[in-house]
Amino acid sequence: MDKIAEINERRKRAHARFVALKSEVYRGFLEMERAAFADGALAKKHKELIAAGISVAKDCESCMQWHIEQAVAAGATFEEVFEAIEVAMEMGGGRATVTARFALEVMDSLKLAPAAG
């Protein structure tokens, strides 16, 4: 199993375990997440792009995998995800450029490609 699939599988197992254990804190987190990413003044896609950038700056591979995937599911293009990663590199400096390599791997796993032309 590749790293991205492993991260996704571990997230699913942990989610199921927290739900099975009836964690009120986890339930509260899920409610906050749902509210934070709901369409509002910013569309869900834009919020996911922000989260993807923050994930790069914070060096959270699991977060990158999730938020890039969610941004794409919400309609983000290669170019939009790529620019979010570039902003994160500017904000995070040299360390974020190293982390951004994993974000590119996530984009590749989703078969995102630049627009032709």
pLDDT in tens, 49-70: 999 999 999 999 999 999 999 9
pLDDT, residue 1, reads 61
pLDDT digits over 12-52, tens only? 999 999 999 999 999 999 999 999 999 999 999 999 999 99
Q: What percentage of the chain's residues is helix, strand, coil (to nearest 5)?
A: 80, 0, 20
Class at the top of the CATH hierarchy for domain 3-109: mainly alpha
**C-beta separation of 46 from 81 below 8 A:** no
Token pair 């914070």 is at which residue?
58
In one-letter notation, the amino acid at residue 101 is: R
pLDDT, residue 116, reads 83
Token pair 């950038």 is at which residue?
53
Of the candidates 80, 74, 90, the residue with the CA atom closest to the CA atom of residue 37:
74
